Amino acid sequence: METKLPLMLLVLALPIQAATLNVAAASDLLHCLPRLNADFAARHPGVVVQFTAGASGSFFAQIKAGAPYDVFLSADTDYPQKLVEAGLASQLSPYARGRIALWTTRPELDPAQGLRRLAEDGRVKRFAIANPALAPYGRAARAALEHAGAWQAMQAKLAFGENIAQTAQYVQSGNADVGIVSYSLLKAAANAPGGRWRLIPTDAHPPIVQAGVIVRRSGAHPLAGDYLAGLATPKGRQLLISCGFDLP
């Protein structure tokens, strides 16, 4: 006869380290992840979710070097797919599609000018994008600038954020006059006040499809799969939409 233990007993029966789920997340999820984690915690009392936000490329390198993450939520599908192919991760799961927006807090500048005119505008001294070598949103920003014929003209003005959250900080603080940021960060309450923004059309850059994976260390965390699955539930999807994401 099969015996089923209550969830709390199952949690208590797990090794101490298993009661903590370590999540590495792309920084466009910075303001959304606490809400997603709260939903997971409601389903799994006693399990603490610890998350670190940063550049997807940095997490990719850290996981290859053995960093102790259980779940990796990337801002693209390439980094997770490479980890799966290397045998370092499993269960590739697309969870969202990101958007980018042109944002400025300078009252004299207008995102409606478009990327090409802003590149030629003498009032624009610094233009922020995430580092394309590390951040998928940086690659999308570069593609949008190239699509507008503004990449070369913008070279002397570019300021690279290590990740998209740092890029948004550059614009919000005034350290950059204009920038290309993720819509999810722009929509968050912390970044909403001040400035003007305009969504960049999706045909100006490759789709920003975002995927997560279960990281294989000595063994997969027993609840890592459930965490990923939660992003695809009706509630998880609604939370992502409310944070400014589209569905994958």
Cβ(111)–Cβ(104) under 8 Å? yes
- 3-state secondary structure at position 74: coil
Cβ(168)–Cβ(191) under 8 Å? yes
Buried b vs exposed e over 35-69: b needs ≥16 C-beta within 10 Å? Answer: ebbebbeeebeebebebebbbbbbbbebbeeebeb
Q: Tell whether residue 182 is among the known ligand binding residues.
A: no
What is the chain's length?
248
DSSP 93-119: EEEEEE-EEEEE--TT--GGG-HHHHH
The closest of 34, 73, 210 to 137, measured between CA atoms, is 210
The closest of 172, 133, 199 to 30, measured between CA atoms, is 172
What residues contact residue 134 under an 8 Å CB cut-off, 6+ apart?
55, 56, 57, 58, 162, 163
Q: Tell whether residue 56 is among the known ligand binding residues.
A: yes
Per DSSP, 246 falls in state B
**Residue whose structure tokens are 């991760």:** 89
Q: Could you give the angle at which helices 78-85 and 56-64 cross, rounded to 10 degrees?
A: 10
Binding-site positions read 56, 164
Binding site members for molybdate = 56, 164
